[in-house]
Structure 1
Amino acid sequence: MTEVNTPPPPGGWTRFVTARPRLSLLVALVLTALAVVAGSGVADRLGSGGWEDPAAESTYATKALEHSFPDSQPNLLLLLDAGKASVDDPEVAAAARGLAGRLAAEKGITGVGSYWQAPPASASALRAKDGHEALIAARITGDEKQMGETLDRLAPELRGTHGPVEVRVGGQVAVRHEMQTIIQEDLTRAELIALPVTLVLLVMVFGSAIAALLPLGIGVVAILGTNAILRGLTSFTDVSVFAMNLTTALGLGLAIDYALFIVRRFREELSSGADPVTAIGTTLRTAGRTVLFSALTVAVSLAAMLLFPQYFLRSFAYAGIAVVLLAAAAALILLPAALVLLGHRVDSLDLRRLFRRGDRRTPGAQAPRVSAWGRTATLVMRRAPFFALGTTAVLVLLGLPFLGVRFGTADDRQLPSSAESHVVQQHIREGFPGTPGAGLEVLTEGRATEAQYAAYKERISGLPGVLRVDGPLVNGDRAYFTVQPRGEAVDDGAQRLVDGLRSVDAPFDTKVTGTAAVLVDTKHAIGERLPWALAFIAVVTLFLVFLLTGSVLIPLQAVALNALSLTAMFGAVVWVFQDGHLAGLLGFTSPGSVETTLPVIMFCVAFGLSMDYGVFLLSRIKEEYDRTGDHESAVRHGVERTGGLITAAAVILAVVMVAIGTSRVTNTKMLGLGIALAVLMDAMIVRSLLVPAVMRLTGRATWWAPAPLRAFHARFGVSEGPAAPERPHSAPAPGRPRDEVPGPEKGADAGTGAGTGSEADADKVTTRG
């Protein structure tokens, strides 16, 4: 009997996006214009800090000191260089005292002190070892925005020549403010680099200039919408300026991924004879489901950063979740409306014709080179043990440097070596005893006698690694001591000193703060919550992949192989950025450590992107397996149909991330280049080699699930293709002998792939015996 399957009438979602496409696009244009207005000035409202745990001991002590001893923590340092003269020269001393007096009279400035005014016991820390440089220290009050405004007002007057001395501006406020300014400038440059290069790559992928512009449009909508959301969030919570880099990268990268998938499927449906509305209906029922599912998996990985208390990490979750969902929404609402209006004109302006001769291939059809992916999958599965063990060994080897990771905090060395605040801090590190402005503060609470304070000071002075102890300065029930560590502010010795100070017995409550204490508390907060974040990602990912595949083993494989794909990224982070290899080539100063929160961000982002590609591949494998019941043929078909798509998407995303990686700020450079490496390794090694090898080794057991879970999947599962009748996994497809299942080299799927096989089965005439 011959059964004709006519295309079903447009469903609810298809009707929604195609009923009034012009109105949909007009509304989108208006909303985008409003987003531009709402998101304007967002960068000026973003913070440059957020690495500390709000509930940590160091955070409490810092706020208490700011309240009771506002002069205790200088965040502005003026480096005075007397040239060949001594800082003790009368003319130099007079100029320095005059500059300090002018600074003390400024609004928003408190706690001005200098080498020339400090008590003899502490003056030596403010004088360079060679005697030609010395420091003026002060505190700029207010929040981050107010401190930045004060610095902008005063810095031009402070820097430069003042009589016999040359003045440079540094300190924590200057470092953060300069970092924020450079990030904004670099982000603009990255966008100017990424957009034209991406457009060229899209033209190479699609051929049509019209088709190539659609993904860029979706990306722009997602980025502008996310900026508006971040602008709104700044009214309620702190948001880091670093999050804007993720907005640009994911906005372009994921929007292009999703648009690639949808536009390509739409063109294939058109080439198979469907009208635009029918083609959109089929595209949304198939590729649209996968895009939605993929967006959820990426959002889950990014949402894990909400479990951490630092607003630096939470900001990446805010920006990431917003841009992922907006990119998916634009791809599933605006893009179908545009495609309906364009119809066959989506293939207009085929620029590849300029470089082809005698090529009569149907527009929208895939190039014959796609069959190379099928041949690669066949080769990999034929030698599955070799490829599985070989690629795993290579990935593990690339990740070995991460075993020597040293965690640190973001400081001036994030900035280029020419940055003024970096120059100041470098002079202090190399030429001054201790590290002025980066000591440890011990806050005491509770009344005590002078004798008790003296005894406590003697005990902490005897701790290993202490250079000097100043204080106490008393204000009611509170007092504080300043402890200057030997060596750098956050090295291992300083961190051990924090633990030592916190373990010293005292007749009053004590709290320790300072740069090293903040680092110790940050590492503790991340270490405490990291298992929960990893468990959240793993559990939700396992569940989502089960909904997609109905298998118990595939979700476990997906999580394990995704994690394995990130080893090269983490190994490169340590080898390049911590150990300083390629520092000259890439233009950065190695701090000798990795900022503590950055691996968390990189893992969540890269794992999510890896799942994005994994979903594209698994959905095609599952669709083909449901259609044929042939495991190896399904794997080969999935690799063949998605290999070029995933590779193109990964290359384009890598271009965007490399553009972000051109930043002059080391953390941003590390984020961009590290994730670019991760997505390329995932697409070219894991998806192309490791996944088909592992799935060949697991065989038909790949699809096993106990009966209760099979029933659950049958009711709630997600599939890209039409539902298939349930059958034992060991049997071939009904009515088709196993040796007649078409592979990539024969039958309907040979080479072109346009409108064939699983891509068009829902809309073609099928014959059943």
Structure 2
Amino acid sequence: MVPRMMAEDFPQDGPGRTRMDIAIAGPVERAALDDYLRSIEGIQGAGTADIHLADAELTWATVAFHGEVDDAENLKLVRDIRALEPPAGATEVLVGGPGTPAVSLDNSDATMGALPWALTFIGLSTLVLLFLAFRSVLVPIKAVAVAFLSLAASCGIIVWGFQEGGLAGLMDFYVVGTTDVWALGLIITIAFGLVTDYEMFLVSRVNEEYMAAGDNRRAIIVGMRSTGSLITRAGLLMVIVLATMGFTATSLFLITIGVGLTLSVVIDATLVRSIVVPATMQLLGRANWWPSRPRSSSGQPDLPDASRTAPRTDATSAQTRHG
């Protein structure tokens, strides 16, 4: 319905058409400029290309496009225009304009270029902080790996629900066939901190019990029993807040963030913290806490048997000599 209304009420070359700006720097002859604009009009998805201002150093032209600024066809149109050979005499050709597919494409490219570095920084920082907290090698690695797997599952549901329209009936939104890269970036970075908090709740209590008793299985049971209700209440509070934002917002961007963060918290506070993390810790056993060692009843770290018995042997020898 909406695409038909857009096509009828706002035709591609009508008075309400949307346009992209093309700035051509350098002294370009009119014949070469006309050939260049005809080449643009020949690209699939391009409308009429017109000249609005031209002088000896700069030419301002526009080309019409139809549809949403983040449509795959319009993003391809920007790439195709930028890939064209500049007209003779041009020193530079720029394609842009506020609210155009060029801006959407550049923002997405910039976000995708920076996101891997941001995730790397977050992951490494988390590894270092968890190592300092637990003096363990495997616990930080497991925490970061499980967090990213949990977020990957959440992002998959988001793409299915919003990009492919799986949640359109429930959430009552118009499916545009794309997912905002900025929304995914925000969901991943914010949710990573939220899910790591739950990891700290559980593992801190398990680590405390293991260091006191030295029994990994018992430590996991005590840790889950002690933190289960706390994680459930904290997760429920976050779900209420985030789901309220997702279901009451009128912007698809905010709806995606609210629902995405809600899914991340639900998955992490249920499946991950109640099944994946305890099962992994049970399988790894004492290797979870390497190189740390549990403390003995005297409050000192357990030492190898030879180290503990050597002082008693010396004391026995001294008693024998003085006997």
Q: How many residues align?
A: 294
Equivalence map 1:291-370=2 (5 Å): none
Q: In the aligned structure 1, how far is the partner of 2:93 from the partner of 2:218? A: 68
**Match for 2:177: what amino acid?**
G
Alpha-carbon distance in structure 2 between the residues aligned to 1:588 and 1:612: 32
Is 2:51–2:60's contact at 8 Å kept on the other side of the alignment?
A: yes
The aligned counterpart of 2:181 is 596
Structure 1: how far apart are the matches of 2:107 and 2:113?
10
Of 120, 136, 139, which residue of structure 2 is paired with 1:535?
A: 120
2:270 paired with 1:695: no
CA–CA distance in structure 2, aligned partners of residues 559 and 627 of structure 1: 26
User: Residue in 1 aligned with 2:256?
Assistant: 670
Contact 1:439-1:489 at 8 Å conserved across structures: no
Aligned residue type for 1:531? P
**Aligned counterparts of 1:475 and 1:629: Cα–Cα separation in 2:** 82
**3-state SS, counterpart of residue 452 of structure 1:** helix
Q: Is the CA contact (8 Å cut-off) linking 2:10 and 2:17 kept in structure 1?
A: no
| Counterparts of 2:273 and 2:7, CA distance in 1 | 47
Aligned pairs for 1:370-389 within 5 A? none
Give the Cα–Cα distance (whole angstroms) in 1 for the partners of residues 60 and 182 of structure 2. 29
Selected match of 1:481 from 41, 61, 66: 61
1:432 is matched with 10
How many Å apart are 1:703 and its aligned residue?
A: 1.2
CA RMSD of aligned residues (A): 2.6
Would the aligned equivalents of 2:173 and 2:252 in 1 still touch at CA under 8 Å?
yes
List per-residue Cα deviations over 1:695-738 (Å, max 9, x = no partner). Answer: 11111111113xxxx6xx9xxxxxxxxx953236x99xx9xxxx
Shift of 1:475: 4.8
Hey, what's the Cα distance between the residues in 2 that align with 1:690 and 1:448? 65
Cα-to-partner distance string for 1:106-157 (whole Å, 9 max, x where unaligned): xxxxxxxxxxxxxxxxxxxxxxxxxxxxxxxxxxxxxxxxxxxxxxxxxxxx
- Of 482-491 and 527-536, deviating more is 482-491
Q: Which amino acid aligns with 1:677?
A: L
Structure 2 distance, partners of 1:526, 1:624, is 43
Cα separation, 2, equivalents of 1:649 and 1:465: 50
Confirm or deny that 1:512 pairs with 2:95. yes
Q: Which residue of 2 aligns with 1:583?
A: 168
Equivalent positions of 1:63-462 (< 5 A) are: 427-429=5-7, 431-434=9-12, 436-462=16-42
Alignment partner of 1:490 is 2:70: yes
Gaps of 5+ in 1: 1-416, 418-422, 714-722, 735-769
**1:582–1:464 CA distance, 2 compared to 1 (3 A):** closer
CA distance in structure 1 between the aligned counterparts of 2:68 and 2:238, rounded to whole angstroms:
38
- Cα distance, 1:486 vs structure 2: 5.5
Q: How does 1:47-58 map to 2 (within 5 A)?
A: none
Kept after mapping to 1: 8 A contact 2:12/2:65? yes
Instruction: In structure 2, give the amino acid aligned to 1:668.
Output: L
**1:725 matched to which residue of 2?**
300
Q: Which residue is 1:560 aligned to?
A: 145
| Residue pair 1:438, 1:489 contacting (<8 A) in 2 also | no
Residue 252 of structure 2 aligns with an amino acid whose one-letter code is: T
Query: Aligned partners of 2:66 and 2:269: how far apart in 1?
Result: 47
Describe the shift of the 1:489–1:671 C-alpha distance in structure 2 as closer, same or farther (beyond 3 A). closer
Q: Is the 2:238–2:262 contact (alpha carbons within 8 Å) kept by the matching residues of 1?
A: yes
Q: Secondary structure at the match of 2:47?
A: strand
8 Å CA contact 2:69–2:104 kept in 1: the answer is no
Counterpart pick for 2:221 among 621, 636, 640: 636
Aligned equivalents of 1:576, 1:429: Cα separation in 2: 26
> Shift of residue 645 of structure 1?
0.6
Counterpart in the other structure of 1:617: 202
Give the Cα separation in 1 of the matches to 2:163 and 2:83.
31
Alignment check: 8 A CA contact 1:575 1:581 kept: yes
User: Post-superposition shift, 1:584?
Assistant: 3.0
* Cα distance in 2, alignment partners of residues 561 and 493 from structure 1: 37
Give the TM-score, by structure 2 length. 0.83
Distance in 1, matches of 2:197 and 2:44, equals 50
Change (3 A) 1:481 1:594: same
Q: Secondary structure at the match of 2:300?
A: coil
Q: For residue 653 of structure 1, what is the amino acid of its counterpart?
A: M
Match of 2:107 among 522, 535, 545: 522
Q: CA deviation at 1:454?
A: 1.8
The residue number in structure 1 matching 2:44 is 464
CA distance in structure 2 between the aligned counterparts of 1:575 and 1:690, rounded to whole angstroms: 24
CA–CA distance in structure 1, aligned partners of residues 194 and 205 of structure 2: 18
| Runs of 4+ displaced beyond 6 Å | none
Following TM superposition, by how much is the alpha carbon of 1:598 offset from its aligned partner in structure 2, in angstroms? 0.3
Matches of 1:559 and 1:430, distance apart in 2: 51
Which letter maps to 1:726?
P
User: Distance in 2 between the 1:429 and 1:628 partners?
Assistant: 72
Aligned to 1:544: 129
- How much has 1:572 moved relative to structure 2? 2.2
Q: Distance in 2 between matches of 1:488 and 1:430?
A: 15
In the alignment, the residues of structure 2 paired with residue 479 and residue 427 of structure 1 have an alpha-carbon distance, to the nearest angstrom, of 34
Aligned to 1:645: 230
Secondary structure of residue in 2 paired with 1:725: coil
- Whether contact under 8 Å (1:442, 1:513) holds in the other structure is yes
Cα deviation code 1:296-330 (max 9, x no counterpart)? xxxxxxxxxxxxxxxxxxxxxxxxxxxxxxxxxxx
Specify whether residues 486 and 427 from structure 1 end up closer, same or farther in structure 2 by C-alpha distance, changes over 3 A only.
Answer: closer
Task: Letter of the 2:154 partner, please give it.
Answer: M
Please tell me the residue identity of whatever aligns with 2:218: S
* Structure 1 residues 496 and 582, CA gap change in structure 2 (3 angstroms): closer
Alignment-mate amino acid for residue 612 of structure 1: D
Q: Secondary structure at the match of 1:512?
A: strand
Tell me if the contact between 2:158 and 2:260 (Cα under 8 Å) persists in the aligned partners: yes
Tell me if the contact between 2:155 and 2:184 (Cα under 8 Å) persists in the aligned partners: yes
CA displacement at 1:647 relative to structure 2: 0.7
Kindly provide the CA deviation profile for residues 574-611 of structure 1, in whole angstroms up to 9, marking residues without a partner as x: 22222222323323222221112000000011111001
Q: Which amino acid aligns with 1:660?
A: M
SS of 1:490's partner is coil
Secondary structure at the aligned position of 1:443 is classed as strand
Secondary structure at the aligned position of 2:54 is classed as: strand
Deviations 1:481-534 (A, max 9, x none): 211236554322221221111122223110001421112211211121112111
Q: Is the 8 A contact 1:587 1:664 kept in 2?
A: no
Separation in structure 2 between the aligned mates of residue 605 and residue 464 of structure 1, nearest angstrom: 39
Q: Residue 574 in 1 paired to residue 159 in 2?
A: yes
Question: Matched residues in 1 for 2:8 and 2:210: separation?
Answer: 65
Letter of the aligned partner of 2:114 in structure 1? R
Q: Structure 2 regions of 5+ residues with no counterpart?
A: 309-323
Shift of 1:567: 3.1
Instruction: Check whether the contact 1:490–1:516 (CA below 8 A) recurs between aligned residues.
Output: yes
Q: 1:530 & 1:560 partners in 2: Cα distance?
A: 17
CA distance in 1, matches of 2:230, 2:287: 28
Residues 655, 701 of structure 1: alpha-carbon distance in 2 compared, 3 angstrom cutoff = same
Q: Sequence identity of aligned pairs in percent?
A: 36
- In structure 2, give the amino acid aligned to 1:511: L
Counterpart of 2:58 in structure 1: which amino acid?
Answer: R
**Secondary structure in structure 1 of the residue aligned to 2:133:** helix
The alignment partner of 1:439 has SS state of strand
Aligned residue in 1 for 2:320: none
